[in-house]
Amino acid sequence: MYCEFFGFRESPFTITPNPRFLFMSEQHREAYAHLIYAVENRAGFVELTGEVGTGKTTLLRTFLNRLDFKGHRTALIFNPCLSSLELLQSVNREFGLTCETQSRMELLQALNAFLLEQKRDGRSVILVVDEAQNLPPDVLEQIRLISNLETETDKLIQIVLSGQPELLCVLAREELRQLTQRITVRYHLLPMSFESTKRYIDHRMELAGSYRAAEFTLPALKRIFRYSGGVPRLVNVVCDRALLIGFTHESRTISGAMAAQAVSEVVGRGPVGMVARMISSLIGRLSPLRR
């Protein structure tokens, strides 16, 4: 609703993991470099962890999108609520292979034949499993067995396990030590700094229309950073609310007070509901039309 007022083509602060909006902070660049290194060196297992909302999924989608199809085959498993059989079926489905059989042996044979074919054609195969902290041990063990598909000299598939910090605790279990020992590349994605957060906000607005469409004052930026801690998803949520407040006040400048109000409403302590204020603003704008 506020996009027309500010001149945005689209909402700049949605929370969907859209690779087009990825902002490469120092931390995100380092995480991306770890992923590229792992693929180029056929590292086998990669572990990417980070707090909720730090941008892991967006980074992974960007990483996969930038791999050329000529030299790579990729699969992304996003649903962690799978049995070990369902996981195998999902992996094969993503690669366009046999996936309806209930036989793990048949599924693994089809996958192995595919991996050998890709190896002969000079392609790397990458499997990304997101939200891996929710996978039970038997499913993680199945993933380890997939990694056993290899030649005497090369790994046939590179596997990225991505998840929240709880994944570290899961992988520390005694029964998963064989899997943990195979992880050769690890990176923990940290939140952004204050300076990166400021550039992130400008970056999102620029892609949506123009970073000059709205001005976040320094007090507003500081308030947003204190609330979000530099976590991109939280920055998006509070900036979106702050722009709504600016819209209702017909102000392109987001003040510290507006940012503080946005934070209060996001955490449920706002004195006036946003819907009520929006309706009131619209009524005010429509009133001259009635006369």
- Is residue 244, in this structure, part of any structural domain at all? yes
Q: Are residues 184 and 224 in the same domain?
A: no
pLDDT band at 269 (very low <50, low <70, confident <90, very high): low
pLDDT at residue 235 greater than cutoff 60: yes
Q: Are residues 239 and 181 in the same domain?
A: no
Q: Are residues 198 and 244 in the same domain?
A: yes
- Is residue 270, in this structure, part of any structural domain at all? yes
Q: Please choose, from the candidates 125, 20, 114, the residue with its C-alpha nearest in 3D space to the C-alpha of residue 76.
A: 125
Mean pLDDT of all residues in 216-221: 98
Residue 127, SS3 per DSSP:
strand
In this predicted structure, what is the pLDDT of residue 126? Answer: 96
CATH number where 254 lies:
1.10.8
Q: Are residues 180 and 54 in the same domain?
A: yes
Q: 25-59 pLDDT, tens per residue?
A: 999 999 999 999 999 888 889 999 999 999 999 99
- Is residue 21, in this structure, part of any structural domain at all? no
Q: Are residues 183 and 49 in the same domain?
A: yes
Q: Are residues 203 and 255 in the same domain?
A: yes
Q: Are residues 207 and 254 in the same domain?
A: yes
Burial class of residue 180, CB neighbours in 10 A (0-12, 13-18, 19+): middle
pLDDT at residue 192 greater than cutoff 80: yes
Domain count of the fold of the chain: 2
Q: Are residues 112 and 255 in the same domain?
A: no
Of the candidates 138, 154, 189, which is a domain's last residue?
Answer: 189
Between 116 and 154, residue with greater pLDDT: 116
Of the candidates 189, 224, 243, which is a domain's last residue?
Answer: 189
Q: Are residues 52 and 155 in the same domain?
A: yes
Q: 86-97 pLDDT, tens per residue?
A: 999 999 999 999
CB 35 within 8 A of CB 46: yes
pLDDT at residue 270 greater than cutoff 90: no
pLDDT band at 98 (very low <50, low <70, confident <90, very high): confident
CATH number where 41 lies:
3.40.50.300
Q: Are residues 183 and 226 in the same domain?
A: no
Q: Are residues 146 and 33 in the same domain?
A: yes
Q: Are residues 183 and 165 in the same domain?
A: yes
pLDDT at residue 133 greater than cutoff 60: yes
- Is residue 176, in this structure, part of any structural domain at all? yes
Q: Please choose, from the candidates 218, 213, 226, 209, the residue with its C-alpha nearest in 3D space to the C-alpha of residue 266.
A: 226
Of the candidates 171, 189, 207, which is a domain's last residue?
Answer: 189
Mean pLDDT of all residues in 257-276: 76
In this predicted structure, what is the pLDDT of residue 281? Answer: 53
The pTM score is: 0.86
- Is residue 40, in this structure, part of any structural domain at all? yes
- Is residue 18, in this structure, part of any structural domain at all? no
pLDDT band at 151 (very low <50, low <70, confident <90, very high): confident
pLDDT band at 285 (very low <50, low <70, confident <90, very high): low
Mean pLDDT of all residues in 14-19: 90
- Where in the sequence is the domain holding 230, given as residue range(s)? 192-285
Q: Distance between CA 169 and CA 176 in Å, rounded?
A: 11
- Is residue 52, in this structure, part of any structural domain at all? yes
pLDDT at residue 236 greater than cutoff 90: yes
Mean pLDDT of all residues in 15-29: 92
- Is residue 164, in this structure, part of any structural domain at all? yes
